[in-house]
Copies of this chain bind each other. A is one copy, B any other.
Amino acid sequence: MQTMDTVEKKRERVPLNGVDTPTLFATINAVKGQPELARFKFRAHNRWVKGTHSHTTIGSFHGAGAEHTHASAFEYDADHPAVLVGTDQGPTPVEFVLHALGACLMAGIANVAAARGVTLTEVESRIEGDVDLRGILGITDAVRNGYEKIRVHFRIKGDGPPEKLREVVEQSRSRSAVFDVLTNRVPVEVTVDAG
């Protein structure tokens, strides 16, 4: 990251905001020298339970040249609420998209702030998406299936001036993986073993 490089030369690398900044820069430098370390495969395994209720396990991923397992296998339920003829055993899948977006921007904010020497005290975001369900209900092709628009509103407090804090959010946005896939699309291949 250009900004990180600049900071790197000027600032002593010390952990900040709970970010292990020295290790973060060491990781960036390792990947610069060995780009294949940057190739990751993330995975999830989803199983149908009943009705619109399904259960996902997130256990392992590949990256930095090796297989990794999470500290524990993370497990999540998703469902539709009663008003959408489900049993509300978990949030809807589209709500998990909002969570993913907020969490991705937040992780970036913490890393960028640490790299820039900005101490954060409190950061939160409220994420909201508008959807017209006539799409997924198949009532009209005039509306899309997914969100028409998503809004993310941040409140960020820290030791820098407001403009510097806003720049941290902007840098995170410009490097966010989830923001990228949502705003720039990604090819999705669906294959099926049936019977």
A residues neighboring B (CB under 8 Å): 1-4, 17-20, 23-24, 27-28, 31-32, 35, 38-54, 56, 58, 61, 63-64, 68, 70-71, 74, 76, 78-81, 83-88, 90-111, 120, 122-139, 144-157, 161-163, 165-166, 169, 173, 175-195
- Indicate whether A86 sits within 8 Å of B74 (C-beta atoms), given known contacts A28-B139, A99-B58: no
Query: Nearest-CB distance from A147 to chain B (Å)?
Result: 5
List the 8 closest A-B pairs by CB distance, nearest first. Answer: A1-B138, A46-B102, A18-B51, A18-B50, A146-B180, A78-B103, A93-B104, A162-B195
Q: Write out the residue numbers on chain B whose beta carbons fall within 8 Å of the beta carbon of A85.
A: 19-20, 23-24, 27, 111
Tell me whether A80 and B98 are in contact (CB under 8 A). no
Query: Nearest-CB distance from A85 to chain B (Å)?
Result: 5
Q: Write out the residue numbers on chain B whose beta carbons fall within 8 Å of the beta carbon of A126.
A: 43-46
A174 to B186, CA, bound (A): 16
Tell me whether B74 and A125 are in contact (CB under 8 A). no
Tell me whether A3 and B193 are in contact (CB under 8 A). no
A50 to B49, CA, bound (A): 34
Known: A40-B130, A43-B98, A151-B189. 16 other contacts (CB 8 A): A17-B51, A20-B51, A31-B133, A44-B126, A46-B99, A46-B106, A52-B110, A54-B106, A58-B98, A63-B83, A74-B91, A136-B176, A147-B177, A150-B187, A152-B188, A165-B192
Q: Write out the residue numbers on chain B whose beta carbons fall within 8 Å of the beta carbon of A52.
A: 19, 106-107, 110-111
Q: Write out the residue numbers on chain B whose beta carbons fall within 8 Å of the beta carbon of A150.
A: 186-189
Q: Write out the residue numbers on chain B whose beta carbons fall within 8 Å of the beta carbon of A35.
A: 132, 134, 139
